[in-house]
Amino acid sequence: MKKLPDLSFWKLWNISFGFFGVQIAYALQSANISRIFATLGADPHNLSYFWILPPLMGIIVQPIIGALSDKTWTRFGRRIPYLFVGAAVAVLVMCMLPNAGSFGLTVAGAMVFGLISLMFLDTSINVAMQPFKMMVGDMVNEKQKTTAYSIQSFLCNAGSLVGYLFPIFFTWLGIRNEAEKGVVPDSVIYSFYIGAAILIGCVIYTVSKVKEMPPEVYNEYHALKDEVKEEAGSSNMLKLLANAPKAFWTIGLVQFFCWAAFMYMWTYTNGAIASSCWGTTDVKSAAYQDAGNWVGVLFAVQAIGSVVWAAVIPWLSKQTSRRFAYSLSLVLGGIGFISVMFFADKYLLFISYFLIGFAWAAMLAMPFTLLTNALEGYGHMGSYLGLFNGTICVPQIVAALVGGLLLSMVGGSQVMMLVLAGVLLIIGAACVYVIKEK
């Protein structure tokens, strides 16, 4: 079997550049969904239920996209067609979702419209996001994968930084950050519009710069094991799971605790800092909307921490091991979450969310590096990465389902839900040592 050649930095960069735009869309969704639905009239104890749809769509869509793209060979490539279609749909929905409260609908009607829009938005983001991970698996050799996924992590966090800061930036420009009851402020609506424009521009750049390998060249670089060859053409996901390497499951165990933790961050940060730093739980107040803008700032600090730590991870992995770098990152992120309960000053929270960014950087880079190396020779790379998305989606679904119950158990304190997120990350850090590389 021929070995994939080393790629230049700019080729690695171009493979993932569209991820910058996709992540702006994802950041806008992550930072503003709780704010949007709370503004529309959702009860805080029910907020976690609105977060079920995104991971539910992911667990359905990504394995399908993976399996289909494994069998797709067109003159445009095998992964790129799905990337472009997903981005195009995401752009349309991004222009609809923040307007859920602007069409004169009843509260229930606005909620339903918002939920349907959210479903399509997350579906399309998942369709656009998955091909980037697959293209690294297809085109990058084992030696460069850590670098490639670190570049992807950098672009991901740079996109997050932009998306998170949009609402407060537009407020600074003078665009209204308040609106009538049940209506999303213009600062958020404009953020989604500009994010959509950047998304399609970045995806067009990647489509124009990246040329995927034709089938005959791909087969020269990716020899398949005999048992996988016998499955060629099969779409039986259960058979693929049965033949999955052990690393698929052990990395998935770590993923469970990590993604449950971040689900609670996305769901409860807005309410937590509104109550602890602004002293309000009134979603109709100007203070609550100011807190919503500050959530974007904190998530931007998280993204900066992630960018910094993404540069450290390859060096730390070489000096120690990938497992140590992965585990340490999660522990530091857990400390960041727990520290939120001690900080009532909004600026001190920069420390907390900077540390949380360390965990996020590791979550974006390390699982896929470990998994794609373990999958070498298994074939069905796209299908396996699609199935692996279940280790991202299932914990979010579980966390969303029990979120309201757990919130009641901690006396309705959204701050304590962030402390719980820190505990979950530390448990995940301990589980890293169950993973066996190769």
User: Per-residue DSSP letters for 182-210?
Assistant: T---HHHHHHHHHHHHHHHHHHHHHHHH-
Judge contact between 97 and 40, C-beta under 8 A: no
pLDDT score for 417: 96
Number of domains in the chain: 1
In a domain, 341, yes or no: yes
Least confident of 303-312, 384-393, 400-409: 384-393
Single-letter amino acid code for the residue at 182: G
Residue 74: CATH number of its domain: 1.20.1250.20
pLDDT score for 381: 64
Place of tokens 């569209």: 18
pTM attached to this predicted model: 0.73
Q: How confident is the model over 220-243, as a mean pLDDT?
A: 58
Least confident of 154-168, 218-232, 283-297: 218-232
In a domain, 201, yes or no: yes
In a domain, 216, yes or no: no
Q: How confident is the model over 399-407, as a mean pLDDT?
A: 92
| 199 vs 375, higher pLDDT | 199
Q: How confident is the model over 103-130, as a mean pLDDT?
A: 84
Given a cut of 90, whether residue 430 has pLDDT beyond it is yes
Single-letter amino acid code for the residue at 321: S
In a domain, 299, yes or no: yes
pLDDT score for 377: 59
In a domain, 218, yes or no: no
- pLDDT single digits (tens) 276-331: 999 887 877 888 888 888 998 999 899 889 889 988 988 898 898 889 999 999 99
In a domain, 226, yes or no: no
In a domain, 249, yes or no: yes
Query: Which domain does 274 fall in, by range?
Result: 9-209+244-434
> What mean pLDDT is reported for the chain?
85
Given a cut of 80, whether residue 372 has pLDDT beyond it is no
In a domain, 232, yes or no: no
139: left (phi over 0), alpha (psi -120 to 50) or beta: alpha
- Give dist(CA 284, CA 39) in Å, integer: 7
